[in-house]
């Protein structure tokens, strides 16, 4: 919990000697103090991943010149990189249908500052959750979708997202599949919650599938949305025990508690720039 402003560098590149040295030299020689640093080397592919965060107080380079100053190092090591500032609160749009449990959970955690984000707007294909948006004082938009009008409606949604300067989209039990075109506007920035322990029970009615299979544990999975349904990089999963005594209704009820936890944890990690995507998998720093 730093009240101070910090810079966050996210890096992936081929693993080579000297990366940590070069980056820490860049920070130290400009009078920066490292607040935290996490790294990971994927031995299979020889790829190096890093998240390093330093205090901007007293840092010798102005914020808007850091990118320029860091570029030579990035080029030398062929880095894929992003620079973020902790002071820049990200803006999130929540997509919902009729179920409200994940929506409430995120709104309440955002309100408490437990998830650091501005909820820019709520978008739905139904009117029903509008009263919640009103209670939390969040702009609410309804775009009903049919097979025929889907792409047009998505254009309108994209326009709203642009208007509201949205960085990140959460599908909080949104019961519509987004087109590949839509998804391409927010690569690794759309987070879905699927109510199963993926890759088991992809697609529709996963709790019913779980019930039919007689599993003893059910789960929920939060992942980035890609073109392929329920197959994007997994960010977080959790599970809960069920038994033969649990009806479908019990399973749905128990599952909802897990969905909330998993989705809000994934969103929090994403917003803290702690998630890196690689080979359709994620590196999630603690």
Q: Are strands 217-224 and 190-194 parallel, antiparallel or unpaired?
A: antiparallel
Q: Compare residues 103 and 166 and give the one whose CB is closer to its own copies.
A: 103
Residue labelled with tokens 């944890």: 265
Residue 117, Cβ neighbours under 10 Å: how many? 20
Based on its alpha-carbon atoms, the radius of gyration of the chain, rounded to whole angstroms, reads 21
Q: Return the residue of 117, 125, 226, 282 that touches its own copies, per CB under 8 A.
A: 282
The site for its own copies, by CB under 8 A, has a size of 65
In whole angstroms, the minimum distance from the beta carbon of 33 to its own copies comes to 5
18 near its own copies, judged by CB under 8 A: yes
283 near its own copies, judged by CB under 8 A: yes
Q: Return the residue of 8, 56, 166, 234 that touches its own copies, per CB under 8 A.
A: 234
Residue 230 annotated in active site: yes
Can you list the positions of beta strands (E) in the chain? 6-14, 33-42, 47-55, 80-85, 91-96, 118-124, 140-142, 168-171, 190-194, 217-224, 234-241, 275-278, 281-284
In whole angstroms, the minimum distance from the beta carbon of 117 to its own copies comes to 15
Q: Compare residues 166 and 251 and give the one whose CB is closer to its own copies.
A: 251
Candidate ranges 78-86, 122-130, 145-153, 241-249; the one touching its own copies (CB under 8 A): 241-249
Residue labelled with tokens 């030299």: 25
Report DSSP letters for 79-148, one per residue: -EEEEEETTS--EEEEEESS--HHHHHHHHHHHTTSS--EEEEEEESSSTTHHHHHHHT--EEE----TT
Which residue in 42, 230, 238, 257 is the catalytic one? 230
69 near its own copies, judged by CB under 8 A: no
Question: Which residues are registered as beta bridge partners of 238?
Answer: 220
Which residues of this protein are in contact with its own copies, per CB under 8 A?
A: 1, 17-21, 24-25, 27-29, 31-43, 100-101, 104, 108, 112, 114, 135, 197-201, 213-217, 219, 233-239, 243-245, 247, 249, 253, 256-257, 261, 279-284, 286
Catalytic site positions = 230
């Amino acid at each position: 919990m730093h009240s101070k402003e910090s810079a966050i560098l996210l890096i992936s590149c081929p693993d080579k000697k000297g990366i940590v040295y070069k980056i820490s030299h860049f920070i130290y020689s400009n009078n920066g103090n490292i607040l935290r640093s996490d790294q990971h080397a994927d031995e299979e592919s020889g790829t190096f991943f890093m998240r390093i965060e330093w205090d901007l107080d007293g840092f010798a380079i102005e914020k808007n010149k850091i990118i320029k100053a860091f570029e030579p190092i990035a080029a030398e090591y062929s880095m894929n990189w992003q620079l973020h500032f902790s002071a820049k609160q990200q803006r999130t749009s929540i997509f919902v249908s009729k179920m409200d449990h994940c929506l409430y959970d995120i709104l309440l955690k955002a309100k408490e500052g437990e998830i650091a984000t501005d909820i820019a707007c709520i978008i739905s294909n139904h009117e029903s959750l509008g009263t919640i948006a009103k209670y939390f004082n969040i702009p609410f938009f309804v775009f009903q979708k049919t097979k025929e009008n889907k792409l047009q409606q998505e254009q309108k949604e994209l326009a709203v997202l642009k208007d509201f300067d949205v960085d990140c989209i959460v599908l909080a039990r949104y019961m519509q599949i987004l087109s590949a075109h839509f998804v391409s506007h927010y690569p690794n920035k759309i987070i879905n919650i699927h109510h199963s322990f993926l890759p088991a029970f992809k697609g529709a009615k996963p709790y019913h599938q779980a019930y039919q299979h007689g599993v003893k544990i059910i789960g929920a999975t939060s992942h980035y949305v890609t073109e392929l349904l329920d197959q994007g990089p997994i960010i977080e999963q959790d599970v809960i025990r069920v038994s033969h005594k649990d009806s479908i209704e019990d399973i749905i009820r128990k599952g909802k508690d897990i969905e909330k936890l998993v989705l809000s944890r994934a969103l929090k990690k994403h917003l803290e720039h702690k998630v890196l995507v690689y080979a359709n998998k994620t590196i999630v720093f603690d």
